[in-house]
Amino acid sequence: MKEDDLNTHFSGHTSSLQLLYENASLDEKHQLNEHIKHLLGTYKEANTHFIEKKLHLNEIDEKGTLIFFTGKMGAGKSTYSKKLASELDAVLLSEDDWLSAIYPEEIKNFDDYIKYSSRLKPLLKEHVQRILHSGTSVVMDFPGNTKKQRAWFKEIFLEDQIPHKLIYLKAEDQLCLKRLKQRRQDLPERAQFDTEEVFHQVTSYFQAPTADEGFNIEVVCQ
């Protein structure tokens, strides 16, 4: 790939991140700067052949597929998304990773999560669309557990007729709680969120996807 082409693709990532600056505090801007530096280092070290493959330079009209998930807390969405992104050679975007990078000290409880995730999602739309239009698929580890949450994904793919798939991970409550217990042990920093109390609070809002929402749905029973 020519250097100009690589720079253009990289600027697509950074320009999307820079949109976050509009309402950012000084600390948030510092986090964004560090993230952009990390992206720069990644692109410098990237193998040219790999980037050409990712961007489908010989198939410039081909769009990537947007893949996202629904399922109860603890259903295994993050684990499944990592596995699928690896299998498909797709870009994986995790809400947890973005929130922890941009708002590392602000999120203390569930209400904080609602507040800051609502700020993040609208600003990511263009970033995700750029990747999909390059021909690269995107796996999004973002919650799609209510009709309102899933409507946001539709905003990403519908206007440009981008292929998509909604994967519904079905799991019983006891299996989800068992996984949350294990996750508290593996990731102590999540202990205050991955509790049975929070599980029941979040699950009370869960809405299983229905055909009338207009998604291409794949159901995975566990």
Q: If pLDDT is split at 50, 70 and 90, which confidence band does 82 have? A: very high
Task: Please give the CATH architecture assigned to the domain spanning 60-221.
Answer: 3-Layer(aba) Sandwich (3.40)
Cα gap 183→189, rounded to integer Å: 10
Q: Return the pLDDT at 47.
A: 41
Does 27 have pLDDT greater than 80?
no
Q: How far is CA 156 from CA 2, 59, 76, 84, 94, in A?
A: 29, 21, 24, 20, 16
Does 138 have pLDDT greater than 60?
yes
Q: If pLDDT is split at 50, 70 and 90, which confidence band does 25 have? A: low
pTM of the model: 0.68
Tens digits of residue pLDDT in 146-156: 999 999 999 99
* Average pLDDT of the chain to the nearest whole number: 79
Q: If pLDDT is split at 50, 70 and 90, which confidence band does 111 have? A: confident
Instruction: For the chain, give every domain's residue range.
Output: 1-55, 60-221
Are 222 and 167 in contact by the 8 Å Cβ rule? The answer is no
Q: Give 64 or 193, the one with higher predicted confidence.
A: 64
Cα gap 20→109, rounded to integer Å: 22
